[in-house]
Structure 1
Amino acid sequence: MKNKLFYKFLAVSLSIPLCACSVQTQDTTEPKEEKASREENKHSTQWSYEGETSPKNWGKIDTLNSQCVNGKEQSPINIEISKVQPNQALDDVKITYQPTVFTFENNGHTVQANTIELNNSIVVEGTEYKLAQFHFHQPSEHQFNRKNFEMEIHLVHQDKNNRLAVLGIMIKEGSKNKSLAEIWGKLPKEETKEGIKLIQPIDLTSLLPKSQKSFRYNGSLTTPPCSEKVKWVVLEQPIEMSKAQIDAYRKIFPDNHRPVQPLNERDVQTSNL
């Protein structure tokens, strides 16, 4: 019952795509009426990455998207590494991941993997956040020293008080990423209506870079409604995917990133020196 209520909240409060996609999982036992409501909400406000519904116009599409224009703590940002503030009082992020079964989908904005189990979490500043889903952007949304990476993964977590924390991992061209091989072997070229279940569990620990030095800042969702008060943890060391894997994703989503937003009065901090 606890899990059911958790996902029901996700479907209601975060039905507009989160960080370029929605956080709902694709539960095959989902009641038809709840699924219909979820699908209606998913498409209630159309937005995209180009043309009249591109990022520069998100605030005009719907009044609910006002923070996309008026927000002062928006994401993504450019991270000037030389200006990152060391903070010895800041606890390291504790990441607890284990092999997990996922379903995945093309939701029209990204390829998204939805968790079926609540067995992955991160602890940020003493608060535990459970993983709901992860998805991809091409090119990366965050920049390091004004440069984008080829891609970026966002792992979206939520705590018991419905607050969000997102772990961002940069992707550069290099060796084939075996941890994502099954998803990439089944990449849906068109928007899907149901989740595709993976045969093999994904060991998210294998996705993490060896160094978990991270940059921390307060930000927002990177898609409408651009809600703020999101804890961002962006790992400095990138992981690799092959050129073939990156090109395969690019053919489906030639560009699904929001441009960097003003830092304003925020600090980017790190506890890992």
Structure 2
Amino acid sequence: PPHWGYFGEEGPQYWGELAPEFSTCKTGKNQSPINLKPQTAVGTTSLPGFDVYYRETALKLINNGHTLQVNIPLGSYIKINGHRYELLQYHFHTPSEHQRDGFNYPMEMHLVHKDGDGNLAVIAILFQEGEENETLAKLMSFLPQTLKKQEIHESVKIHPAKFFPADKKFYKYSGSLTTPPCSEGVYWMVFKQPIQASVTQLEKMHEYLGSNARPVQRQNARTLLKSWPDRNA
């Protein structure tokens, strides 16, 4: 695939022109990320939540040149309306890709799931400055220094759900991958409540990753849903 990045002539504004298979990055009408506006999100009690069936697994890390990615072996999944989506990997963006009321958080984590038909569901977790994050600290002790080479640490076990906020309310919308080829039809769930990481942790992650966030995209005709009724907002 053609080389792409976050700056200059390979940056997000040019992704759609770098290759024919990236054209959706430019022409798509349901692109991600978006600016989350709580006051215009539609409250609902009928939005299906998700059941989590993750396992604690050995740490498999790779810096793929665009992000820090943790690969997950088969057997961790979520269910939405009884439909199974397997957890493939999770990765990080600094600063956050989704905004809230026009503002970016220092970091965002994406847990990428796929069903048997190839449909994607992504859970996004926003990070804000606060207490040190123990699960993140475990992972940060093993940041790969070589590009595109998976490193396996058998003795280090991480349970992905340890990153989840206490409050499981979430925003839901139909979007896309936030990297080329920007494929659409992705089921996005963004937790309302950010989780905490220390200033030092967030600065170190940003130093390691650089700025790897795609700018927010137009919402167009899409409706942003929230998993709680308006009266309890």
Q: Please tell me the TM-score bracket, short chain as reference.
A: over 0.9
Note if 1:174 corresponds to 2:151: no
Query: Is 2:7 the counterpart of 1:50?
Result: yes
Letter of the aligned partner of 1:81 in structure 2?
P
Matched, 1:59 2:19: no
Q: More strand per residue: 1 or 2?
A: 2
| Paired position in structure 1 for 2:157 | 201
Q: After superposition, where does 1:84-103 map in structure 2 within 5 Å?
A: 84-103=41-60
The percentage of counterpart residues that share the same residue type is 40
Asked if residue 131 in structure 1 is aligned to residue 83 in structure 2, the reply is: no
Contact in 2 for aligned 1:121/1:157 (Cα 8 Å): yes
1:156 equivalent in structure 2 = 112
What is the aligned partner in structure 1 of residue 193 from structure 2?
237
| CA–CA distance in structure 1, aligned partners of residues 49 and 41 of structure 2 | 15
Counterpart position of 1:82: 39
Q: Return the structure number with greater helix share.
A: 1
How far residue 205 of structure 1 moved from its aligned partner, in angstroms, is 2.2
- The corresponding residue for 1:23 is none
Deviation at 1:77, TM superposition (A): 0.3
Please report the TM-score for the alignment, with normalisation by the length of structure 1.
Answer: 0.80
Q: Report how far residue 125 of structure 1 moved.
A: 4.0
Q: Which has the higher contact order (CA 8 A, sep 6+)?
A: 2
CA distance in 2, matches of 1:123, 1:90: 13
Amino acid at match of 2:69: Q
Does structure 2 conserve the Cα–Cα contact (< 8 Å) formed by 1:92 and 1:272?
no
Match of 1:140 among 76, 79, 96: 96
Q: What is the aligned-residue RMSD (CA, Å)?
A: 1.4
TM-aligned CA deviation for residue 219 of structure 1: 0.3
Unaligned regions of 5+ residues in structure 1, if any? 1-43
Q: Is the 8 A contact 1:78 1:144 kept in 2?
A: yes
Report what 1:31 is aligned to: none
Q: What amino acid is the match of 1:76?
A: P
* Paired position in structure 2 for 1:263: 219
2:181 to 185, 206, 225: 225
TM normalised by structure 2 equals: 0.94
